[in-house]
Amino acid sequence: MSEAAWRVIAREGLDRASMRAIAQEMDCTTGVVTHYFRNKQELILFALHQVTERLRGQMDVAITNLSGVDRLVAMLLSFLPLDQTRQEILQVWVAFLGYAVGRQDLMVEHRHSAGELRKVVIQELAALQKQQIIRSDIDPAIEANVLLALVNGISLDTLIQSQPLDSKQQKIALQRYVSGLLNH
């Protein structure tokens, strides 16, 4: 069920992910869809929460058994659309963001989602700073924004540029920026 909704959104965008389109995707009638999602609003919010959960999942897997800078880099790399799974996540993420323009309630929800990930990055930066791995003149709260901005920007690059960075170049760009935060 939720898989079908996810697929339609990733493939067609949010405005064309109608109740009927999702019903058709799972080869049933709209009765099923309305039974699980009372509103279209609920459906849309579900998509956003899926984005957050999946990103968190990707991240948790990526950073296990890592520490130090490697851990930070792995964390940030896990957000990049390096495989088809994460490209789908990006599609839904962008679709939601565009759909939230002019809908303040949805934008607030999106900010909550982004805030969760930001918190994790801040903690990681603070920890690395305590270990004196990254420079002491860095404000974790601010640097988290910049790091996420770079990650989001690189992700968007794959969508909006006709000659986007390939996966190797994406990694290098991120790695190089992070290395500029280190001590020495």
Partner DNA sequence: AGTTTATCACAACAGTTGTTATATTCATTG
Partner DNA sequence: CAATGAATATAACAACTGTTGTGATAAACT
List interacting residues with DNA (CB under 7 A): 1, 16-21, 23, 28-32, 34-35, 38-41
Choice between 67 and 85, CB closer to a copy of itself: 85
For every residue of 5-48, which 3-state class applies, written as one string? HHHHHHHHCCCCCCHHHHHHHCCCCHHHHHHHCCCHHHHHHHHH
Considering only residues 68 to 87 of the shown chain, the ones binding a copy of itself according to CB under 8 A are none
Choice between 35 and 168, CB closer to DNA: 35
Near a copy of itself by CB under 8 A: residue from 56, 62, 127, 164: 164
What tokens were used for 149? 């901005």
Q: Is residue 157 a contact point for a copy of itself (CB under 8 A)?
A: yes
Choice between 42 and 70, CB closer to DNA: 42
Could you tell me which of 132, 128, 131 has the C-alpha nearest to residue 120? 128
Q: Is residue 4 a contact point for a copy of itself (CB under 8 A)?
A: no
CA distance 45 to 177: 33
Query: Phi and psi of 134, rounded to 5°?
Result: -110, 160
Helix (H) or strand (E) holding 110: helix 104-130
77 within 8 A of 147, measured Cβ to Cβ: no
Which listed range, 34-42, 50-58, 70-78, 145-153, lies at the site for a copy of itself (CB under 8 A)? 145-153
Residues that bind a copy of itself (CB under 8 A): 11-16, 91, 94-103, 107, 110-112, 114-115, 118, 141-142, 145-146, 148-154, 156-157, 159-165, 169, 173, 177, 180
